[in-house]
Amino acid sequence: MTSPPLGRLLIVDDEKAQMKALCHTLETEGYSTTGYSSASEALAALRAGAFELLLTDLMMPEMDGISLLNAARQVDADLAGIVMTGHGTIDTAVKAMQVGALDYILKPFRLNVILPVIARALDVRRLRIENAALQERERQYIYELEAANKDLESFSYSVSHDLRAPLRAITGFCDIFLTEFTASISEEGARLLGHVVDGARRMDRLIEGLLAFCRFSRQPVAKRAVALDGIVQRVVADLRMREGERTVELRIDKLPECQGDALLLEQVFANLLSNAFKFTRGCAAPVIEVGTVGQAGELVVFVRDNGAGFDMKYANKLFGVFQRLHSAEEFEGTGVGLSIVQRIIQRHGGRIWAESAPDRGATFFFTLPSLSSRPATSAS
């Protein structure tokens, strides 16, 4: 089976004997060669056939090598070019490069010089073609991504307005009916209507969770220096206010600065800490910790609680949209919060994972770009 040629070469030199000798030499080295002593004939052949590299003499009576290369590249912009000359000067090299030549070779030829030059020119040509194809795929990907984002925005609008409107009508009319016709409704009827209202309100919360996930997935990340301490203190103060008189022991380490989007990172701590407060409600002595662990080259933050925990065999479901590891009767929620957290951390270039066991609490770890070089506080 014949091996494919190393490259398809178009060789032009007005000295026929030299052109034929070069064609023969390069054929024996594994190249496919076609030679011409006329520049116009070479251009005609280029229009009719497929060549990868033009090897042309510089000084020719009909058309000089630089003019030929310029004309050839008008026919095939991907064509690699090498100029052959017995008058090698810097000016010659500069002019050749300006019209797209990748190199030039001095006459008389030496095989150990010309072969590496040809191989390098063909490699550069292939890289340029591959790069152009990659850029085209990238442009197509960007176009498709923009189209997908527009579709997502339309979907979000539809969910917000078209799907939630019937839910509001259901809950509104049921509430009116239960208020105005209480006396004529049986206990069982009132119970069933209550289930309708609860179901509609839960669906509304699920839709709101889905919209929040879409919003945080699309929101631009404005990275800058962020003081995590301030974020955690604000989130904790808000959660303590919501919890009222409930006593929760908080152990919050000094946190270093990081690079990120302050608003998005506040959502991360809000979701993780609200989960910690929620899942420790059944604890006699709830404890919630926030700190960092030492890990070379990156900042690792953790949020830990001693609450309900979960079985690690279900950890692969943890960050899925609408995935819940506890029933709605045990703990309220839509199952969207952790998926939002994961999406935000990923958009910061980080990763998130968890360690837990049933009734032994849970620890969520996530990485962020660090601005601080000081050693992180070790987690016990």
Tens digit of each residue's pLDDT (9 = 90 or more) over 156-166: 666 666 667 77
Going by pLDDT thresholds of 50, 70 and 90, the confidence category of residue 304 is very high
The length of the chain is 380
pLDDT tens column, 172-196: 888 888 888 878 888 888 888 887 8
Instruction: Give the residue-averaged pLDDT of 235-261.
Output: 86
* Of 108-122, 279-293, 330-344, the least confident: 330-344
The count of other CB atoms within 10 Å of the CB of residue 56 is 28
pLDDT of residue 206 exceeding 70, the answer is no
Between 107 and 232, name the one with better pLDDT: 232
What gap in Å lies between CA 283 and CA 347, rounded to an integer? Answer: 34
| Percent of the chain topping pLDDT 90 | 21
Between 32 and 374, name the one with better pLDDT: 32
Going by pLDDT thresholds of 50, 70 and 90, the confidence category of residue 122 is very high
What gap in Å lies between CA 253 and CA 278, rounded to an integer? Answer: 21
- Locus of tokens 């800058």: 224
The count of other CB atoms within 10 Å of the CB of residue 93 is 15
Going by pLDDT thresholds of 50, 70 and 90, the confidence category of residue 336 is confident
Residue boundaries of the structural domains of the chain: 8-109, 134-218, 224-368
Angle at 329 between CA 232 and CA 324, to 5 degrees: 60
The count of other CB atoms within 10 Å of the CB of residue 333 is 17
Cβ 273 vs Cβ 239: under 8 Å: yes
pLDDT of residue 333 exceeding 60, the answer is no
Instruction: Give the residue-averaged pLDDT of 302-311.
Output: 87
Give the phi and the psi of residue 225 in degrees, each rounded to 5: -65, 130
What gap in Å lies between CA 74 and CA 194, rounded to an integer? Answer: 77
Task: Please give the C-alpha separations between residue 354 and each of 127, 193, 202, 229, 351, in angstroms, as whole numbers.
Answer: 43, 40, 27, 22, 11
Question: What does the pLDDT read at residue 34?
Answer: 93
Between 24 and 150, name the one with better pLDDT: 24
- Name the superfamily (CATH) of residues 224-368: Histidine kinase-like ATPase, C-terminal domain (3.30.565.10)
Question: What does the pLDDT read at residue 87?
Answer: 67
Report which secondary-structure segment, H or E, holds 116. helix 111-158
The strand pair at 287-293 and 249-252 is best described as parallel
pTM over 0.85: no
Question: What does the pLDDT read at residue 310?
Answer: 83
- Name the superfamily (CATH) of residues 8-109: Response regulator (3.40.50.2300)
